[in-house]
Amino acid sequence: MSRTRHAAPAANIGAIAIAFALSTFAFDVTAHAQMAGEFGGHPGVDRYNRVAKGANVAEWQRRLGDADVPTRLDAVESLGTKGGEEAVRPLIEATADSDVRVRIKAIDYLGTLRARDATGLLMQLLFLNDVGHEEKLRSLTALSRIADPSTSERLLSYARTVGDEELVCHAVFALGEIGDPATRNGIAEFQKDSSNPDLARLAGDAIDKIDARLAAKPVQQPTLLELEKKLAARAPKK
């Protein structure tokens, strides 16, 4: 009988202990979240985060020189997913890696990060004879994601001269993503003259994108100074 009477309090004590532990854990999580919200924008915290990220980027960049290919691939993955703007320069360097898998992954992440600093390199890769077909396709995809208007004329020239329909299709798609009105007539040539229905469709889509951007572009009103100059030019001379 005495054993039965003491068993129930022991069970209650165990349940109370578990409940207390859970409530303490919940309090710690809530407090941590509140502190993160309160101090997340604090200059000291931001500075610490930048330093920590910089240290990580430096470490990942160091691993790009490792002899082990999987280690270099992991470094590119970390740079592309966690490095931010600081990762652009190391990723550009990784496009010259001896292993094509590392090069392709670095190109992909430059596009994902929309790294305009990489557009010159990516354009150069398109014209090099020792760069593989897949790398050129990935470079065009990255350029379409970056959508840097400064590349539009060169991309149009590339599409006209490359002679590989798959590359031409990717280049025309990139031109549509950039949406530069100056390339509209050149793109229309592909829509009109190409015997490849996929290329003609992509050219039509690119033109539609350019037209849509032009239609959505707000009308720029002249400044007061510009308006005064126009009115003065129209005024009859005395």
Q: Tell me 117's DSSP state.
A: G
**Whether the predicted pLDDT of 74 surpasses 60:** yes
**Whether the predicted pLDDT of 47 surpasses 60:** no
Give the C-alpha distances (Å, rounded to integers) separating 193 from 177, 189, 190, 212, 235: 21, 6, 5, 23, 50
The confidence score (pLDDT) of residue 35 equals 45
Q: Largest Cα–Cα distance of the chain, in whole Å?
A: 122
**What are residue 42's phi and psi, to 5 degrees?**
-70, 135
- Give which of 74, 119, 73, 71 is closest to 92, Cα–Cα: 119
> Which stretch, 7-11, 23-27, 135-139, has highest mean pLDDT?
135-139
Residue 12 pLDDT class (50, 70, 90 cuts) = low
- Give which of 149, 80, 156 is closest to 111, Cα–Cα: 80
Return d(Cα 231, Cα 238) in angstroms, integer.
Answer: 15
- Report the CATH fold assignment for 147-216: Leucine-rich Repeat Variant (1.25.10)
Residues of the chain with CATH 1.25.10.10: 51-121
* Out of 46-50, 73-77, 216-220, 229-233, least confident range: 46-50
**Whether the predicted pLDDT of 95 surpasses 90:** yes
Average pLDDT over residues 29-38: 48
> Which stretch, 23-27, 43-47, 124-128, has highest mean pLDDT?
124-128
One-letter identity of residue 218: P
Spatial contact of 132 and 105, defined as CB atoms under 8 Å apart:
no
CATH superfamily of 51-121: Leucine-rich Repeat Variant (1.25.10.10)
**Whether the predicted pLDDT of 90 surpasses 70:** yes
The confidence score (pLDDT) of residue 237 equals 63
The single residue listed with the structure tokens 């004329």 is 153
Count of residues in the chain: 238
Question: What residues contact residue 177 under an 8 Å CB cut-off, 6+ apart?
Answer: 144, 145, 147, 209
**What are residue 65's phi and psi, to 5 degrees?**
-95, 5
The confidence score (pLDDT) of residue 27 equals 46
Return d(Cα 101, Cα 202) in angstroms, integer.
Answer: 28
For the stretch 188-223, pLDDT in tens is: 999 998 899 999 999 999 999 999 988 887 756 666
